[in-house]
């Protein structure tokens, strides 16, 4: 039996709401050694930054609660090249799938946003 805890009926409806989406951000350092794909999450999940922001791809809705982990993970240059040749889509037959490259947005001004840190920087 599946339990559904969705606030909105679908992603299209959620992305137009202030609290519609949540994103986990992981900082990656490119290096030679490979990593286990299951280790995409850092070991320390208790140290993170959180803020209200937007999608990084058009239409850039202001509907995302971002969580960016403080600890970086490491991936190889080959894995970066593989990621850039991969496609993202939400359904197997999705005609709107897109490459996972150049799908970022330039850093935006804070616009009075407050960034919460789950740990003391000192």
- pTM, whole model, 2 decimals? 0.59
Number of domains in the chain: 1
Residue 72 within any structural domain of the chain? yes
Residue 43 within any structural domain of the chain? yes
Residue 3 within any structural domain of the chain? no
Confidence at residue 49, expressed as pLDDT on a 0 to 100 scale = 93
Closest by CA to 40, choosing from 65, 74, 67, 89, is 74
Q: What is the domain range of residue 47?
A: 11-117
Confidence at residue 1, expressed as pLDDT on a 0 to 100 scale = 45
Residue 122 within any structural domain of the chain? no
Confidence at residue 2, expressed as pLDDT on a 0 to 100 scale = 46
Residue 5 within any structural domain of the chain? no
Residue 1 within any structural domain of the chain? no
Residue-level pLDDT, tens digit, the chain, 122 residues: 444 557 888 878 888 888 888 887 877 777 776 656 566 788 888 999 999 988 887 788 888 888 999 988 887 787 777 655 554 544 555 555 555 555 567 888 888 999 999 999 76
Could you tell me the CATH number of the domain that includes residue 109?
Answer: 3.10.200.10
Confidence at residue 90, expressed as pLDDT on a 0 to 100 scale = 47
Tell me if residue 32 falls in helix, strand or coil. coil
C-alpha torsion angle, residues 105, 106, 107, 112 (rounded to 10): -70
Residue 95 within any structural domain of the chain? yes
| Helix locations, 2-122, DSSP H | 11-14, 77-85
Closest by CA to 75, choosing from 43, 27, 118, is 27
Say which residues have a Cβ less than 8 Å from residue 78's Cβ, sequence separation at least 6: 34
């Amino acid at each position: 039996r599946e339990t559904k805890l969705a606030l909105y009926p679908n992603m299209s409806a959620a992305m137009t709401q202030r609290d519609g989406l949540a994103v986990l951000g992981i900082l990656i350092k490119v290096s030679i050694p490979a990593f286990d794909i299951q280790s995409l999450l850092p070991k320390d999940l208790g140290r993170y930054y959180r803020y209200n922001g937007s999608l990084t791809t058009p239409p850039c809705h202001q509907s995302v609660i971002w969580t960016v982990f403080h600890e970086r993970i490491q991936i190889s240059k080959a894995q970066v090249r593989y990621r850039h040749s991969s496609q993202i889509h939400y359904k197997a037959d999705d005609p709107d799938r897109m490459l996972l490259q150049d799908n970022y947005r330039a850093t935006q001004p804070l616009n009075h946003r407050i960034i919460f840190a789950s740990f003391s920087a000192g």
